[in-house]
Chain A
Amino acid sequence: MSIFESVRMAVHGVLANRLRSFLTLLGISIGVASVIILVAVGRGSASAVQKQIEGLGTNLLTIQAGGGGFGRRASSSIRFTFMTTKDVKALQDKTAAPDIKSATPVVSASSVTASRDVATVTPDTVAGTTPSYQEARKADISEGTFITAADVTGHARVVVIGTTISQDLFGSSDPIGQTIKLNGANYTVEGLLKSKGSNGFQDQDSIVLLPLTTAQDFLVGHSGQLNQILVVATSPGTVDAAESEATAILTPNHSNSDGSAAFSVLNQASLLQTTSASTHTFTVLLAAVAAISLFVGGIGVMNIMLVSVTERTREIGIRKAIGARKADVLGQFMTEAGLLSVLGGIAGVAAGFVGGQFKIVGVQPVIQAYSVALALGVGVAVGLFFGIYPANRAASLRPIDALHYE
């Protein structure tokens, strides 16, 4: 019996019970679609996280006092030191640190209340810094100006605010040149930052920046203590060199009793690697869940094929009585199972592509070619595999038994 005749018989079998065939097909297509979509969601969230980290700057190092790694040291050896503006000066030395482009001091104030008239808000971040912060953090200005060097030297009472703060205090009106109060004292809004959205942990637009000197005068005091130093390497390729230079410069003044560094250097590039590894695991997990539904779809094919064989036992008997061979009947039912799974697979791919166009839980899915091929291939293979048993059962029926089956 030719392939064409097998396919023709299979199409006939599929069309003979449309609703049932459709439901079987649905099982496979849901499986295929969910593999495609969930892998795309995993990939989409990975690239979203990557973009955010890259948005922070891949040539950025963040230096913080304390630790040196994450809790790896015995507490007895830790000396409590802190970063100062002297350290910043040392890092800006071009001869000792040729790969460091800029070093930016950051002081953070906590529990600061920002207000205007009756509107009050507690920003997630209130930080004092210098103009190079703008480059280090990619803090673009949409209106007005960023903190200037003159603001820092002149202890100017100006602020740059994020869009969330602007919304909360000014609504839709222009905040530039307006006055806000931080803990009751007046500041003039000098600039408005471009929106960065959420980084997954906090709202990056709920931010108030002010000159380092002003922040020390009014919010954090003159202890000289810095919360962070942001170091920008000359290029993404020199990040590692910049990191070792920074470590060499800082270690003499900030080391534990055992000689190890009493500070930590956070490298964005290595953070990126760690995140990709964890998002990859996440993607695999999602795909595994989807694969289960693909498997269930295959069982659906088997179920329907078994019903179909039972229902058509008499027909199988007739076919055998007029000369159909075992291989003919096997071919007919295998083709039918194959047809159901191929159609289901194609429908699933189509559904996957449509579903992949929409944002799912805030993530824009990125459809992966390999997942489409894999889902379709596995879907059809699963359908065929589960078709073997029913088809073989049909083919092995004795014509006499099949004919007398009621």
Chain B
Amino acid sequence: MGGSPVADRVLEPGADESDPSAGPDSSPEHPLMVLTGVSKIYGVGEIAVHALREVDFKLELGDYLAIIGSSGSGKSTLMNIIGCLDQPTHGSYWLDGIDVGSLDDYELSYIRNRQIGLIFQSFNLIPRTTVARNVELPLIYARLPKAERRERARAAIEAVGLGNRGSHVPSELSGGQQQRAAIARAIVTEPAIILADEPTGNLDTASTRDVLEIFFRLNAAGRTIVMITHEPDVAAHAKRVIQVADGQIVADMRQAPVAGPPPAPESVSPEHLQVAHT
């Protein structure tokens, strides 16, 4: 893997990867993510569906972005492209200084493994496999030695408050616990971006609060988060909200500066904020 220049670039520990608590590097000259004229067209000719039309936006390191929109607005397509699960029909996507469109299958796997932590509405844990093993999986694909894998997985499970659930299989957990396990899996590789697709869509109010609290802490610690949602009160927790309709960005609102803490969820007490910042 050392032979690939892209892999080497990806491998180089970024500021956030080596020390997340050092604070985000939010200089606007070096945006983490740049989408230019991104379009996605499904089908051809008369039946062609324009899921995305010429979308442009930049995302700073350390930002907390919520993408909102009704179903069919194209927000899921946008999420798939950002998550390197799908390629745009037109336009370019640069992630951390890499043109994703130029990457081959092998390099894309690398980006997905190291740069992006995916969280899904339906959790997508691997069934009949313990939480610890699920969380460890991205590190297995990253070819990390076993001892380090164990340690990092344990730390990630601890961080989402599932410290005593590592040996459970997903079917033994509640929805909220499953989603927290999925978050642990997403953060275990210390990715540049955490990408969450309707993370609270299948959760009750209490679990939603838990998840948002974890996101709050992660972002306050410097991690970049992109979250897709259709719930305005969930989007209210982000620093920036982009509204998508008919495959285009129709609104782009900043709710809090990139550099500061995100808007606090109700459940996070001031002491919590203190802890997160020290």
Name A residues whose Cβ lies closer than 8 Å to a Cβ of B: 1-2, 5, 12, 16, 314-315, 317-326, 328, 398-400, 403
Contacts and interface: CB of A to CB of B under 8 A. Distances in A.
A29 to B, nearest CB: 25
Contact of B113 (A12, A318, A322, A403): A322
A240 to B, nearest CB: 71
B89 interface: no
A2 B125 CA distance: 22
In the complex, the 4 A-B pairs of residues with the closest C-beta atoms, listed nearest first: A323-B113, A325-B109, A323-B141, A400-B85
A323 B142 contact: yes
A1 B136 CA distance: 12
Given A1-B140, A323-B110, A318 B126 contact: yes
Contacts of B140: 1, 5
A343 to B, nearest CB: 20
A314 B105 CA distance: 19
- B interface, how many residues as a size bin? 20 to 34
B138 A323 contact: yes
B189 to A, nearest CB: 7
Given A12-B129, A323-B109, 14 more contacts: A1-B140, A16-B128, A315-B127, A317-B124, A318-B125, A322-B141, A322-B185, A323-B110, A323-B138, A323-B141, A323-B142, A398-B86, A403-B120, A403-B124
B118 A321 contact: yes
11 contacts: A12-B128, A16-B128, A319-B137, A321-B124, A322-B113, A322-B138, A323-B141, A324-B113, A325-B105, A326-B105, A400-B86
A78 B112 CA distance: 93
Contacts of A321: 83, 85, 112, 118, 124
Contacts of B189: 323
Contacts of A320: 109, 112
A403 B127 CA distance: 14
B141 A328 contact: yes
Most buried by B among A315, A328, A399: A399
Interface string B23-35: 0000000000000
Given A1-B140, A318-B124, A318-B126, A323 B114 contact: yes
B248 to A, nearest CB: 21
A2 B145 CA distance: 10
Contacts of A315: 126-127
A322 B112 contact: yes
Nearest to B109: A325
Nearest to B118: A321
A125 B270 CA distance: 113
Contact of B126 (A5, A319, A398, A400): A319
Contacts of B208: none
Nearest to A325: B109
B151 to A, nearest CB: 17
Contacts of B112: 320-323, 399
B73 interface: no
A16 B171 CA distance: 14
Interface in B183-197: 185, 189
Nearest to A318: B124
Contacts of A325: 105-106, 109, 141
A314 B170 CA distance: 15
Contacts of B207: none
B255 interface: no
A56 B210 CA distance: 92
A101 to B, nearest CB: 78
A1 B143 contact: yes
Interface string B159-201: 0000000000000000000000000010001000000000000
B106 A326 contact: yes
A400 B82 CA distance: 12
A155 B185 CA distance: 104
Most buried by B among A12, A315, A322, A325: A322
Nearest to A317: B124
A398 B83 CA distance: 13
B80 interface: yes
Interface string B87-111: 0000000000000000001100110
A328 B137 CA distance: 12
Contacts of B118: 321-322
A403 B143 CA distance: 23
Contacts of A317: 124
A12 B85 CA distance: 26
B196 to A, nearest CB: 13
B53 to A, nearest CB: 19
Contacts of A16: 128
Nearest to A399: B85
Nearest to B128: A16
Contacts of B124: 314, 317-318, 321, 403
Nearest to A323: B113
B141 A1 contact: yes
Contacts of A326: 105-106, 109
B90 to A, nearest CB: 18
B228 to A, nearest CB: 14
Contacts of B120: 403
A325 to B, nearest CB: 4
A390 B114 CA distance: 28
Contacts of A324: 109, 113, 141
A5 B80 CA distance: 28
Nearest to B80: A400
B50 to A, nearest CB: 18
Interface string B217-229: 0000000000000
A361 B86 CA distance: 64
A397 to B, nearest CB: 12
Nearest to A4: B146
B40 to A, nearest CB: 11
B126 to A, nearest CB: 6
A35 B89 CA distance: 55
